[in-house]
Chain A
Amino acid sequence: MGRPAILAAVLYGVAGLLIGPAGAQETKQETKPASGQAMVSPITQQQLNAADKSVNNFLLTNGNYAQTRFHPARQIERNNVKNLHVAWIFQTDVKESLETSPIVVDGVMYVTTSFSHVYALDAKTGVQLWHYNHKMGLVTTYCCGPNNRGVQVLGDLVYLATLDSKLVALKAKTGEVAWQSDIADPELGYSETMAPTVIKDKVLIGTNGGEYGIRGFVKAYDAKTGKLLWTFNTIPENSVGIWATKDATGRDMHRDIQAEKDQLAKTGDPFAKLGGGVWQNPAVDLATNRIYFVVGNPSPDLDGSIRPGDNLYTNSLVSLELDTGKYLCHFQYIAHDVWDLDAASPPVLVDVKGKDGKTIPGVIHAGKTGHIYVHDRKDCSLIRFSEAMVPQENMWVLPTKEGARMLPGANGGVEWSPIATDPGQGLAYAINLHQPMTYQVENSPYPNGKLWLGGAFKVIPGEAQAGNITAVDYNTGKIKWQVKTPEPMIGGILATAGGLVFTGEGNGKFAAYNSSNGKELWNFRAGAGVNAPPSTYMVSGKQYIVVGAGGNTQIDFRRGNNIIAFTLN
């Protein structure tokens, strides 16, 4: 393929030779055969339910079913974090955007890379145990990089969703395929980059494709067989809604409601190609058996003229019944979005102060708008929204042919990056982008699964970009502290009981901060963008911090292929 490294790439897996078509950025000329099987004990649902209390493991993409990304390990803390050093570095075979959340089960770590590779590693040494190289289908259609954000484990299976829209169950010991199911047709614009959420013998998965005119969904599959159990279409057949004219914060969105109504009369409800991908994991409320997730943008992104109505449930928080997929409630942040300022960062379940000051079960979400939204878990209603974490200017100016400048740019605010919380402090930690952009609109009909932006969002050359790490008191909506960063932030963040937060930057910096005041306590230069969410775990009595350093396609941060684990002396 014109790339010598790829021609020479011969990849071995433990389950025999796993030679597939080499992906675009595979780097190693040869990898050694795996050293052996992963000595894993089956993980039970009870263990997963108690993931928030597991000091040794990191069992779910965002730490636990509530998705707090708060880990109880406290060996690494504010006083000793300055002594953190590299324990090991594992180099994957793929030098391309790295967004994996490392999962750790009893000393075995599972990481993924772009193009849907999975590695099982010894979490203490970084030694490879097995490697699954997915045989990618001919057709993949995806936005924003060939990413994969990780796996989940239940029993003796490891679950993966792939770029060519397959759901794959691997044997945890060997990496062999136990079963594989089709999720949706990649030729129509469907792809997978999120990690599955596995709960009560169900594998929950959303879909990408809001840039290609899909009809989004969350699906549940039988964890043992891969059989489809239920589908919730994120776009209902009546997607029109209430003709909302204001966003969640009360600002006018300048909709031409009469023009939309005229269009609706002419072309009908646009639900069939309306987008509404689900980029990230649902949170699961174990007490009420409900799930909460956010739905992405409508298709086409910038041209609202051909999709009249509120475009339900795009740009919304949605709650379903876990067992059946039945709709329970939703809250839409931006009706009829024409800026791609959608909802991507996974929601988090924490107790919050309600409007009357009483503590109630809440759900919070960090938006591309730069606000953290706080909801009542019972009915999805909005309790409050935070101060803006990034500059907002000219909202909501409509996109024009020539391009209209508005802040935030289309990547946010908070992109897909998961937030962390520290319930003891009542704080949510978010990483933000600041990228001044212009929004341009164009009109074209549905292009059969091709890119369908309805215009363009353009970074403005010459205008400074930046980022920040922001701690928000979710009981008041006030910003507690903020650390400015020289570049836009994308990846994720982790909070620990050691009083720390860990996050990385596109320039390769990975750092620890005091979670109460944002003071930087330690940093490391990884040599490639650290644009993945960190995890933490313990093996043989030692706590480790682990993170991927592989850069990012979407913001074009320097690529690498490193999984780096840190520990104390």
Chain B
Amino acid sequence: MRGKLNLGISGVVALAAVLNVCTTPLQAQSIEEKTQVCTGCHGEDGKPVDKTIPVIWGQQAGYIYIELRDFKRGDRKSDIMQPIVSSMAREDMQAIAEYFSKKPWPDLGQPRASKEISDRASSANRSVGCTGCHLDHFQGDGTVPHLAGLSREYLTKTMADFRTRARGNNPGMSDLMLATSPEDLAALAEYLSGL
């Protein structure tokens, strides 16, 4: 319930920001003006207002750009994000991605996973090879996202959405999540959030 309520508030904030975006031509806006809309949900200080909303401060620029592109194309569904990106040109999306990628990654203050959970997560990683793409220490690169220190709730929701293909813009990830047991995914979410 709490999550839904927060999301509702975020939606209102986002809508207000969209209206603001719509009254000023995008090309006339500074990057701070262009990204004002984002802070309503993703946070003024990089800490999202709801735990199921992703951290975008310090995220990989290529990944942010591809997600914005996919929201615009409709390959990734979101009632909030799709209207926000609908008027953005490729250059806008890339500039926004660069802008947020240069911000410092926020510390969400999540606890380190226990040894038992860490061992289970490491075993799951060895099995499907998460770090083959997300790289050492889950830092990501290019179009592959940084995972270390994302919120546990966002990680849990995202992996579940890949698993059901509710998030449909990366079928390779869906395949890998389907090949991983729910218990292993829970361990991964806890482990990654504590890195």
Contacts and interface: CB of A to CB of B under 8 A. Distances in A.
A140 B132 contact: no
B135 A138 contact: no
Contacts of B149: 2
Contact of A139 (B102, B143, B170, B173): B143
Contacts of B125: 556
Interface stretch (A40-48, A83-91, A345-353, A439-447): A439-447
Among A143, A451, A454, A559, which residue has the most Cβ atoms of chain B within 10 A? Answer: A451
A368 B96 CA distance: 43
Interface stretch (A287-295, A336-344, A456-464): A456-464
Interface string A414-451: 00000000000000000000000000101011011011
A233 to B, nearest CB: 24
Given A2-B149, A553-B135, A451 B173 contact: yes
Contact of B135 (A24, A211, A451): A24
A13 interface: no
A144 B101 CA distance: 23
Given A138-B65, A139-B62, A458-B179, A96 B102 contact: no
B104 to A, nearest CB: 6
A523 interface: no
A453 B178 CA distance: 12
Contacts of B161: none
Interface string B99-119: 001101100000000000000
Interface in A191-217: 211
Interface in B152-195: 165, 169-176, 178-179
B135 A1 contact: no
B172 A451 contact: yes
B171 A450 contact: yes
Contacts of A442: 171, 174-175, 178
B141 A24 contact: yes
Contacts of B176: 453, 456
B120 to A, nearest CB: 10
Contacts of A556: 125-126, 129, 131-132, 136
Contact of B136 (A96, A138, A454, A456): A96
B87 interface: no
A139 B66 contact: yes
A140 B62 contact: yes
A141 B132 contact: no
B141 A138 contact: no
B172 A140 contact: no
Given A447-B172, A450-B172, A456 B141 contact: no
A243 B102 CA distance: 52
Contacts of B123: 461
Contacts of A454: 175
B127 A459 contact: yes
A452 to B, nearest CB: 6
Interface string B132-158: 110110011111001001000000000
B interface residue count range (under 10 / 10 to 19 / 20 to 34 / 35 or more)? 35 or more
Contacts of B58: 1-2
B75 interface: yes
B36 to A, nearest CB: 22
A450 B97 CA distance: 18
Contacts of B92: none
B128 interface: yes
Interface in A531-565: 553-554, 556, 559
Contacts of B61: 21, 138
A455 interface: yes
Majority SS of interface residues in chain A? Answer: loop
A354 to B, nearest CB: 41
Among B123, B127, B131, B174, which residue has the most Cβ atoms of chain A within 10 A? Answer: B127
A21 B102 CA distance: 9
A554 B132 contact: yes
A25 interface: yes
Contact of B75 (A96, A144, A448): A448
A307 to B, nearest CB: 15
Contacts of A146: 135, 141-142
Contacts of A448: 75
B131 A138 contact: no
Contacts of A136: 142
Nearest to B142: A140
A452 B129 CA distance: 15
A183 to B, nearest CB: 16
Interface string B59-94: 001100110000000010000000000000000001
A57 to B, nearest CB: 34
A456 B179 contact: yes
B179 A23 contact: no
A447 B136 contact: no
A25 B148 CA distance: 14
Among B128, B139, B141, B146, which residue has the most Cβ atoms of chain A within 10 A? Answer: B141
A142 interface: yes
A142 B172 CA distance: 13
Contacts of B66: 139, 187
A141 B144 CA distance: 8
A444 B174 contact: yes
Among A24, A25, A440, A553, which residue has the most Cβ atoms of chain B within 10 A? Answer: A24
Contacts of A403: 179
A391 interface: no
15 contacts: A7-B104, A25-B135, A25-B139, A163-B142, A186-B142, A444-B171, A445-B171, A447-B172, A448-B75, A450-B171, A450-B172, A451-B173, A455-B175, A458-B127, A458-B128
Leading 6 A-B pairs by shortest Cβ distance: A2-B105, A451-B172, A140-B142, A444-B171, A456-B179, A2-B58
Given A139-B66, A458-B128, A461-B126, 18 more contacts: A1-B146, A2-B104, A24-B140, A25-B135, A96-B135, A96-B136, A115-B141, A138-B97, A141-B142, A145-B135, A442-B178, A444-B171, A444-B175, A450-B170, A451-B173, A553-B135, A554-B132, A556-B129
Interface of A: 1-3, 7, 21, 23-25, 96, 115, 136, 138-146, 163, 186-187, 211, 403, 440, 442, 444-445, 447-448, 450-456, 458-461, 553-554, 556, 559
